[in-house]
């Protein structure tokens, strides 16, 4: 049975997404995971906050219709710079609203939980996580941009948790 998982790396300027299709293993055959799509939703700088949130709202609706996920995995808020916190929290609120409108279940992971799930080490660096994404999804190269690779890592974390 196929399960579609959409990973989201919330952001205000760039929201990363990564969608995977997972086949449960039957008997001795290993589970199979395939990439459906990945990329980013971008909002233009120097645009009003409300307009940028509206872009996230509309683009996320379109993405959900395109991917039709069974589960959404979201990275929990974690910040290095306090100045960006409120804008990202507002974008994340839009994400939560759209998920509720689509009646989609979601799970949340901290960055350390994602690193632990993919590398076995909660303090792994970004490149180690990206290499794990590439390896787990049998990709020829690390997905770009980084926000999309992060979203795929979040989606994989949800699959590993199943």
How far is it, in rounded angstroms, from Cα 107 to Cα 114? 12
**What secondary structure, in 3-state letters, does 9-24 show?**
ECCCCEEEEEEEEEEC
Distances (CA, A) of 27 to 3, 24, 30, 31: 18, 10, 8, 10
Q: Is 108 a catalytic residue?
A: no
The one catalytic residue in 65, 75, 108, 146 is 75
pLDDT at 162: 81
pLDDT at 80: 58
Residue 70, helix vs strand vs coil: coil
Residue 122, helix vs strand vs coil: coil
* Triad 78, 81, 87: Cα angle to 5°: 75
The one catalytic residue in 108, 146, 147, 150 is 147
The one catalytic residue in 9, 65, 108, 150 is 9
Burial of 41 (0-12, 13-18, 19+ CB in 10 A): buried
Q: Is 65 a catalytic residue?
A: no
Per-state percent for the chain, helix, strand, coil, to nearest 5: 45, 25, 30
Collect the ranges in the chain with pLDDT lower than 70.
25-30, 78-83
pLDDT at 29: 55
pLDDT at 160: 94
- Complete domains list, the chain, with CATH: 2-161 (3.30.420.10)
Q: Is 48 a catalytic residue?
A: no
pLDDT at 147: 96
pLDDT at 79: 60
């Amino acid at each position: 049975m196929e399960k579609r998982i959409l990973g989201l790396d919330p952001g205000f300027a760039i929201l990363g997404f990564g969608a995977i299709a997972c086949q449960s293993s039957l008997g001795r055959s290993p589970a199979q995971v395939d990439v459906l799509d990945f990329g980013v939703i971008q909002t233009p700088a120097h645009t009003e906050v409300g307009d940028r949130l509206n872009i996230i709202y509309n683009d996320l609706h379109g993405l959900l219709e395109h991917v039709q996920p069974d589960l959404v995995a979201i990275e929990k808020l974690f910040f290095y710079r306090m100045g960006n916190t409120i804008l990202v929290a507002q974008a994340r609120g839009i994400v939560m609203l759209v998920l509720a409108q689509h009646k989609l279940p979601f799970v949340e992971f901290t960055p350390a939980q994602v690193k632990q799930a993919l590398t076995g080490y909660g303090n792994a660096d970004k490149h180690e996580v990206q290499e794990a994404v590439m390896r787990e999804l049998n990709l020829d190269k690390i997905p770009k941009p980084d926000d999309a690779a992060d979203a795929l890592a979040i989606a994989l974390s949800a699959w590993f948790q199943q």
